[in-house]
Amino acid sequence: MSTDPLVVFTPSGKRGHFPTGTPILTAARQLGVDLDSVCGGRGICSKCQITPGLGDFAKHGVSVAPDALSEWNSVEERYKSKRGLIEGRRLGCQATVQGDVVIDVPPESQVHKQVVRKRAEARDITVNPSTKLCYVEVQEPDMHEPSGDLERLVRAIEAEWGITNIHADLHILNVMQPILRKGEWKVTVAVHLGDEENPPRIMHIWPGYYDGTVYGIAVDLGSTTIAGHLCDLISGEVVASSGIMNPQIRFGEDLMSRVSYGMMNTGGAQEMTQAVREGMNALITQVASEGQIDKQLIVDAVFVCNPVMHHLFLGIDPFELGQAPFALATSNAMRLRADDLHLGIHPSARVYLLPCIAGHVGADAAAVALSEAPDKSEDLVLVVDVGTNAEILLGNREKVLACSSPTGPAFEGAQITAGQRAAPGAIERVEIDPTTKEPRFRIIGVDAWSDEDGFTEAAAASGITGICGSGIIEAIAEMRMAGLLDPSGLIGSAAQTGTDRCILDGRTHSYVLHDGTEHDGPLITITNPDIRAIQMAKAALYSGARLLMDKFGVESVDRVVLAGAFGAHISPKHAMVLGMIPDAPLDKVTSAGNAAGTGARIALLNRDARGEIEETVRRIHKIETAIEPRFQEHFVNASAIPNAVEPFPILNSIVTLPQVSFNTGGDEKGGRRRRRRG
């Protein structure tokens, strides 16, 4: 048994015996303890801070004497007087082992910090970025031993940081020599650690010790919006987030119209590529200015997008994606340089695009899989990313299936008579009294319900302007629960429903949700064409999910995760009444927010996650809904509200849906035609 002092690290619990005089940083490195250092133990960076414990530690079987570490030294004193050091902390590179000791590594001194995610079922993100900051002292040139400055710089990085086969781009050679001399042969370099396709590379160089950080950007490139998160690559924190509309919208609202634009117009695809790249640069400028950083400090970027956006962003004509068999140019992950995509960030910045799953299931779905990890789930989870196209994943540890389903833009408020995007003034929550059939609602930007005190005053600023996606879902589900709507999707007449809010509107009926005409406001109605549009969208979503359940050989799922910005606002109960999602306990239906964006952030902050998702995607089984005969069958059944054949036992135990049928047409005597309500 060793007579050398015992060093125990917490929270890792790693322990080992070390000769007296061993720096704590050295002991940590030898044991593989996660203790940070940028300056390589020179007492400059303070990243190696530790908190030694004193007294008895029965749990570890150690008693720590006051002199278990070397005395406070002048390097620590200098650092403390200049920059400050929390009481009780020491610099791990300066304090040496003198006796048995217990050392706590505080979270900020850990290299692989955890970025804690708020949701209980979501795993935390471990920070392990592709780019590392290394401080080195470089040997000065010597006439007797001629060698280039770069070679000596590379040798110093290899010797101190163990990073081998390092390359440098021309722009580093362009700036390196004066920086080495300005720093008196001490420099800090940002090194990209390399990946499957690329060797490690010097990204940037600063004279002396660089006390700053480097950044990365994680972008969710959607057909409608582009959202970016600027992240500190060292701490893992999001520094700024921003979003813009995708400038490609002018070429077509949905993806297929953009594919056709490319087919119909010579140079159309190139035009769209240029538009999205210009948009991307505008977003980068915006997010960098919000984060108050120099864009040149952005050294890594991760993009997730659907297959059509993926191709257009890369400058590949998406023609093949518009027709069966929907062949992607490549489904592999892409590792590029920012220059390749004309991005205005650091010239050597690396770009990573997650792999696509299939011709209709893109890198955004792969990012959702990375964030929600269905492949690691013990129970069977259905993950639905609701957008213009719904991307659906179903799986557990055993296997994961994926498909996409064309839901169209109805869920985003498009094709809906009073529909609008989610903005102040839009109705987002609806309740309808099943007895009086009277509605109450809430609008975005106002906390009170429409029948509560203070609502009118609070709503005056924005007005009541329309109804957004989550509002239309609640309105239709509430209409179904209140007996205003039958399972086939027909709205009853005033006589059939007993409320004059049901008005004749052409050959069908509409339900008046809000009449603001008295004050020159809008008449907000839910019309039968609105119901049809939502029926089509929800049937597409449900049948995709049901098809995956067929393929999995199950009749139910354990839990449902709603991803996407819209998914965050859907009420699980209303989604189920509508038959959008399979029957499941309501507390097992959760929202994941922008899971694709989170997946992009994970891939940005953790280099190992990139290989992990590439492996997962290879194992995901893709189902092409277009060629599955049962999809059509499910679609027809799912057009009913909630469903023509599925029993929905859990839903039925919570709500009783009225057995109504308005097929026979209504008696209009008690009703009224669509008109201004006075």
Comparison of 52 and 291: residue with beta carbon closer to ligand FES = 52
Comparison of 107 and 611: residue with beta carbon closer to ligand FES = 107
Residues that bind ligand FES (CB under 6 A): 25, 37, 39, 41-48, 91-93
Chain position carrying tokens 């069958």: 633
**In three state form, how does the secondary structure of 283-311 look?**
HHHHHHHHCCCCHHHEEEEEEEECHHHHH
Does residue 491 contact residue 662 with C-beta atoms inside 8 Å?
yes
Comparison of 91 and 602: residue with beta carbon closer to ligand FES = 91
Does residue 259 contact residue 322 with C-beta atoms inside 8 Å?
yes
- Least CB distance to ligand FES at residue 117 (A): 29
- Least CB distance to ligand FES at residue 24 (A): 9
- Least CB distance to ligand FES at residue 377 (A): 40
End-to-end CA distance of the chain: 94
Comparison of 25 and 361: residue with beta carbon closer to ligand FES = 25
The H helix count followed by the E strand count for the chain is 18, 31
- Least CB distance to ligand FES at residue 214 (A): 17
- Least CB distance to ligand FES at residue 96 (A): 12
Chain position carrying tokens 């893109």: 362
- Least CB distance to ligand FES at residue 46 (A): 5
Question: What's the DSSP call for residue 398?
Answer: S
What is the C-alpha to C-alpha distance for residues 52 and 69, in angstroms, rounded to an integer? 8
Comparison of 79 and 552: residue with beta carbon closer to ligand FES = 79
- Least CB distance to ligand FES at residue 579 (A): 59
Distance of CA 289 to the CA centre of its chain: 21
Comparison of 188 and 331: residue with beta carbon closer to ligand FES = 188
What is the C-alpha to C-alpha distance for residues 413 and 224, in angstroms, rounded to an integer? 13
Backbone CA torsion sign across 138, 140, 142, 147: positive
What is the C-alpha to C-alpha distance for residues 624 and 638, in angstroms, rounded to an integer? 18
- Least CB distance to ligand FES at residue 376 (A): 35
Comparison of 29 and 335: residue with beta carbon closer to ligand FES = 29
Does residue 427 contact residue 513 with C-beta atoms inside 8 Å?
yes
Comparison of 18 and 511: residue with beta carbon closer to ligand FES = 18
- Least CB distance to ligand FES at residue 79 (A): 7
What is the C-alpha to C-alpha distance for residues 575 and 473, in angstroms, rounded to an integer? 7
- Least CB distance to ligand FES at residue 7 (A): 16
CB-based contacts of 406: which residues, under 8 Å, 6+ apart? 389, 540
- Least CB distance to ligand FES at residue 36 (A): 8
Main-chain dihedrals φ then ψ at residue 338, nearest 5 degrees? -55, -35
- Residue closest to 230 by CA, chosen among 214, 206, 245, 252: 214
Comparison of 37 and 497: residue with beta carbon closer to ligand FES = 37
Comparison of 39 and 481: residue with beta carbon closer to ligand FES = 39
- Least CB distance to ligand FES at residue 139 (A): 21
- Least CB distance to ligand FES at residue 442 (A): 53
Comparison of 43 and 344: residue with beta carbon closer to ligand FES = 43
Would you state the structure tokens that stand for residue 335, as one six-digit string? Answer: 């590792």
Question: What's the DSSP call for residue 319?
Answer: G
Comparison of 42 and 421: residue with beta carbon closer to ligand FES = 42
What is the C-alpha to C-alpha distance for residues 158 and 261, in angstroms, rounded to an integer? 52
User: What string of DSSP letters covers 35-62?
Assistant: ---SSSSSSSS-TTEEEE--EEETTTTE
CB atoms within 10 A of CB 473: 27
User: What string of DSSP letters covers 438-474?
Assistant: -EEEEETT--S-TTSTTHHHHHTTT---EE-HHHHHH
Would you state the structure tokens that stand for residue 372, as one six-digit string? Answer: 């929600």
User: What string of DSSP letters covers 587-623?
Assistant: GGEEEEESHHHHHHHHHHHBHHHHHHHHHHHHHPEE-
Comparison of 41 and 307: residue with beta carbon closer to ligand FES = 41
Distance of CA 43 to the CA centre of its chain: 38
- Least CB distance to ligand FES at residue 49 (A): 8
Does residue 528 contact residue 490 with C-beta atoms inside 8 Å?
yes
What is the C-alpha to C-alpha distance for residues 248 and 577, in angstroms, rounded to an integer? 35
Does residue 567 contact residue 591 with C-beta atoms inside 8 Å?
yes
Would you state the structure tokens that stand for residue 96, as one six-digit string? Answer: 């040496």
Which residues lie across from 55 on neighbouring strands?
Answer: 64
User: What string of DSSP letters covers 263-286?
Assistant: HHSTTHHHHHHHHHHHHHHHHHHH
Comparison of 48 and 620: residue with beta carbon closer to ligand FES = 48
Comparison of 97 and 426: residue with beta carbon closer to ligand FES = 97
Across the beta sheet with 201-207, the strand order is: 131-137, 186-192, 201-207, 167-168
Main-chain dihedrals φ then ψ at residue 555, nearest 5 degrees? -105, -10
Question: Which residue's C-beta sits nearest to ligand FES?
Answer: 93
- Least CB distance to ligand FES at residue 185 (A): 18
- Least CB distance to ligand FES at residue 35 (A): 8
CB atoms within 10 A of CB 653: 10
- Least CB distance to ligand FES at residue 40 (A): 7
Comparison of 98 and 330: residue with beta carbon closer to ligand FES = 98
Comparison of 34 and 364: residue with beta carbon closer to ligand FES = 34
Distance of CA 81 to the CA centre of its chain: 42
